[in-house]
Amino acid sequence: MSRLSSSSSVIAVLGPTNTGKTHLAVQRMCSYTSGVIGFPLRLLAREVYDRVVEIKGADRVALITGEEKILPEKAQYFLCTAESMPMNRDFAFAALDEVQLGCDRERGHVFTDRLLNLRGREETMFLGSDALRPLLRRLIPGIEIVSRPRFSTLSYSGPTKLSRLPPRSAVVAFSAEEVYATAEMLRRLRGGAAVVMGALSPRTRNAQVEMFQAGEVNYLVATDAIGMGLNMDVTHVAFASLSKFDGRQVRRLTIPEMAQIAGRAGRYQRDGSFGVLQWPGETLEFREEEVSAIEEHHFSPAEYLYWREGQPDVSRLDALIASLERKPGLPLLRAAPESYDLAVLHKLAEDPVIKDRARSSLAVKRLWAVCGLPDFRKTGIEAHSRLVRRIFGYLTEGNGYLPVSWFADEIVKLDNVQGDVPTLSERLAGIRIWAYIAHRSDWLENPAKWAERTRALEEKLSDALHERLTQRFVDRRTSILMQDMGKAALDMLPTEFSEDGVVLVGGESIGRLDGFSFHVDPAARHGDMKRLHAAAERRLGGELTRRAKALQEDEDKAFSLLTAKG
């Protein structure tokens, strides 16, 4: 990417969530002849890609992530994850979202590299938290900084029991187990919840969000991935916990992390609230200074960013490791902790066979690329290193490509839509690895064929996972009953009467109307009986009146007297 020229400008648009920063960047990009925006999540890149396609047309817009590439021949506008941005290509406009992630121990060095080296020919825009203001002024002389106020207010509402959680709420948890347990309880208490996690494919995530947006469920349970700009109609955010495991230890969330998540409440000019879930026997509470900082959007300035050499020396294996471990030259930058890819490289560098094969610059470059394969399955360094070692072995023998039979067999093992939520989630994580590999054009013969094959299987598994998530975490009848308790629901949820007397509310059976007698569906849970009777009382008035009128208007010959048996 070209360096900043005298005629170009660098702008930082800073502020809390719900300030329209990403919307502004998309508008600015679309006003130029070409542009690129980097995002922290594949899901967010995909969401904005869809928006830009509507504006510019599919033939002019590209999507590049580790596992997904849509690259039309005449593409001018690129939406990418930060790691996948084409840094050697010239764009009129360039932007990076969530630049405060330069403070993140795991991925911070990527965002810092983009901050220092990403430049658009005519305009460069960095979006993020106001906490970066002092650092940006010192790192990029002459940068223009624009502050954006939040469109709506955000207020703390205190602890709330799960049973009393207001509609259109998102519960944020910090592990898959916590997400599933909370969604299970919401199913029993409130009819169910949609589930959103960073590990979901865009297809599954979109299907779950659509269910929430359409009002089929009133609750959403998500990991902290929800904090990274995903747009949903949420009015309240409830924290299931205020601590998380960060890869090294369980620690309390930082105030900026809390604010990023809480800020998903409210949309545009509609106010939002945040609070904590009140669990039996537990005391979970925000501290006074945390509430004040989140409500007033005042955070301590960031003191440093993590850095690692973005273009390491690949002439020799030892030179590669040395350049990746080099200390930054600026006091505002701190050497990044050993990340996953570097840990894998250290592991493989101990292997004599790997060292022997990584003698040329091309082989070293290829080894470093293979070490970047994400461990989507979360198998750990040992197991993941074995996979990386095997891939590098194949790439440095024979024709230099992965064996088609081996690659195809690994895909076939995952082509199974049977199983529960964890099983399907594991297969989906597995196919993400092979999709990532399929998008490396120099690792496979005919990569386009395998990219399409892995994409089709990911969609197949995604649809199956959405179905299982809905089956497990949504009780449609209970959800209908909870909606029916609202006054507006009388208009929203249609009541139908089948020929055999079954009463349907929103397409779900609540019981049977025999003449003038209503009988609750015998298959209903005991806890739903009162709700079913209440729903019938609210909805059967018109039908009973119609039947009474028909009875009154019938001729005498339509009546007969029957003698009761027994």
Rounded CA-CA distance 130/255 in Å is 13
Question: Given pLDDT bands bounded at 50, 70 and 90, which one contains residue 525?
Answer: low
pLDDT bucket at 532, cuts 50 / 70 / 90:
low
- Is-same-fold flag (9-147; 154-303)? yes
Least confident residue range of 312-316, 462-466, 477-481: 477-481
Q: Show the tokens assigned to 282.
A: 């537990």
**The predicted structure's pLDDT at residue 198:** 79
Statement: residue 493 has pLDDT above 60 = no
Residue 409's pLDDT is 97
Return the closest-CA partner of residue 365 out of 306, 323, 407: 323
pLDDT surpasses 70 at 309: yes
Taking the domain 9-147, which CATH number applies? 3.40.50.300
Q: Is the C-alpha dihedral spanning 217, 223, 67, 383 positive or negative? A: negative
User: CATH number for the 154-303 domain, one of 1.10.630.10, 3.40.50.300, 3.30.70.870, 3.30.160.20?
Assistant: 3.40.50.300
User: Is residue 535 within 8 Å of residue 524, measured between CB atoms?
Assistant: no
**Residues 8-22: tens digit of each pLDDT:** 799 999 998 888 899
Round to whole Å and give the CA distance between 549 and 305.
Answer: 77
Chain length of the chain: 566
Angle at which helix 361-371 crosses helix 340-349, to 10 degrees, equals 130
3-class secondary-structure state, position 563: coil
Tell which residue, 326, 337, 329, 346, has the closest CA to residue 249.
337
Question: Is the pLDDT reported for residue 345 higher than 60?
Answer: yes
HSE value, Cβ hemisphere, 13 Å, CA-based, for 502: 10
Query: Cα(550)–Cα(565) distance, rounded to whole angstroms?
Result: 27
Q: Given the structure tokens 């806890």, which residue do they identify?
A: 527
Question: Residue 225 — very low, low, confident or very high, per pLDDT cuts 50/70/90?
Answer: confident
Q: What are phi and psi of 31, to 5 degrees?
A: -85, -10
How much is the pLDDT for 298? 86
Instruction: Report d(CA 85, CA 209) in Å as an integer.
Output: 27
Domain-by-domain residue ranges, the chain? Answer: 9-147, 154-303, 490-554
Report residue 120 as tokens.
């658009």
pLDDT in tens, 358-403: 999 999 999 999 999 999 999 999 999 999 999 999 999 999 999 9
- As given in the structure block, the two tokens for residue 258 are 């809390």
Distance in angstroms (rounded) separating the CA atoms of residues 23 and 547: 55
* CA atoms of 259 and 287, how far apart (whole Å): 13
